[in-house]
């Protein structure tokens, strides 16, 4: 059941990896002067299925993705309490709007009671795949290419090669089906589906308008 008398309003944004969650979270939070919590900031204190192929074959229960501290922190911000991020110790202050990444939307039982509005970014898988690779390969970029040593160039090349083989191998093994399955579950219980191919400014405007309408309807209903 939802928490009683929450102080603030939690907006969850869902999409596949590379679908544009983080960018939209940041844009919407800026428009609403809201606080931000990102799913990946809690990796070190969370528990995920070890073999995604087996997880899919066993029925893809999203409740096996356990993020207890993430859930507690979202609930605390919703109540008007500050939280400390596990990754870097940064303190996040509560705001009227809390904008979070939650790939599963309301799908996970530990998160559902703390979410007021879910928006799903429907981004074509090939676009998300390209974005994900472009995002992750930035770390292999050598700024001073002319001044780089042979060892640095070799390490960068080998690192990029290993990353691409690993990333694309996982995508073929389980990643593509994982993203489709999670997206379908998130969409089934969402409040809004957005076209992930639109510019982020347009997406943010659409989401803010939908959230404002949802809050007005809720107030009118008592």
Residue 48 has pLDDT above 50, yes or no: yes
- Segment 196-211 mean pLDDT: 97
Residue 37 has pLDDT above 80, yes or no: yes
Residue 219 has pLDDT above 70, yes or no: no
Which tokens in the block code for residue 38?
A: 């990102």
pLDDT in tens, 111-134: 999 999 999 999 999 999 999 999
Question: Is residue 113 a contact partner of residue 1, using CB atoms and an 8 Å limit?
Answer: yes
When pLDDT is cut at 50, 70 and 90, the band that residue 221 belongs to is low
When pLDDT is cut at 50, 70 and 90, the band that residue 146 belongs to is confident
pLDDT in tens, 156-184: 999 999 999 999 999 999 999 999 999 99
Buried b / exposed e along 88-108 (16+ C-beta atoms within 10 A): eeeebebbebbbbbbbbbbbb
Instruction: Mean pLDDT check: name the lowest of 10-19, 79-88, 133-142.
Output: 133-142
- Segment 45-51 mean pLDDT: 96
Residue 194 has pLDDT above 70, yes or no: yes
pLDDT at 5: 60
Query: How many CA atoms within 13 Å lie on the side-chain side of 124?
Result: 5
pLDDT at 1: 43
Question: Is residue 8 a contact partner of residue 36, using CB atoms and an 8 Å limit?
Answer: no
- Segment 28-39 mean pLDDT: 97
Question: Is residue 94 a contact partner of residue 8, using CB atoms and an 8 Å limit?
Answer: yes
Residue 217 has pLDDT above 80, yes or no: no
Instruction: Identify the CATH assignment for 9-216 out of 3.40.309.10, 3.40.1010.10, 3.40.50.300, 3.30.420.40.
Output: 3.40.50.300
State the chain's mean pLDDT as an integer.
Answer: 93
What percentage of the chain carries pLDDT values higher than 70?
Answer: 96
pTM of the model: 0.91
What percentage of the chain carries pLDDT values higher than 90?
Answer: 85
Better-scored residue on pLDDT, 2 or 32: 32
CA-to-CA dists, residue 96 to 5, 83, 99, 100, 153, angstroms: 13, 15, 10, 13, 48
Residue 3 has pLDDT above 90, yes or no: no
């Amino acid at each position: 059941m939802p928490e009683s008398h929450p102080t603030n309003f939690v907006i969850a944004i869902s999409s596949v990896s590379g679908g544009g969650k983080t960018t939209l979270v940041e844009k919407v939070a800026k428009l609403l002067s809201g606080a931000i919590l990102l799913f990946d900031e809690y990796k070190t204190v969370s528990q995920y299925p070890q073999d995604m192929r087996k997880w899919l074959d066993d029925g893809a229960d999203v409740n096996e993705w356990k993020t207890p501290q993430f859930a507690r922190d979202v609930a605390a911000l919703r109540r008007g309490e500050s939280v400390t991020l596990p990754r870097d110790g940064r303190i996040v202050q509560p705001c009227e709007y809390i904008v979070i990444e939650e790939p599963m939307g309301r799908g996970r039982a530990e998160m559902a009671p703390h979410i007021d509005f879910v928006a799903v970014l429907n981004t074509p898988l090939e676009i998300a795949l390209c974005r994900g690779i472009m995002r992750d390969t930035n770390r292999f970029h050598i700024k001073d290419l002319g001044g780089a040593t042979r060892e640095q160039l070799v390490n960068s090349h080998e690192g990029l090669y290993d990353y691409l083989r690993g990333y694309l191998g996982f995508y073929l093994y389980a990643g593509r089906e994982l993203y489709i399955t999670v997206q379908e579950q998130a969409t089934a219980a969402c409040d809004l589906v957005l076209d992930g191919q639109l510019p982020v400014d347009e997406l943010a405007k659409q989401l803010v308008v939908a959230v404002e309408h949802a809050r007005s309807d809720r107030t009118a209903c008592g």
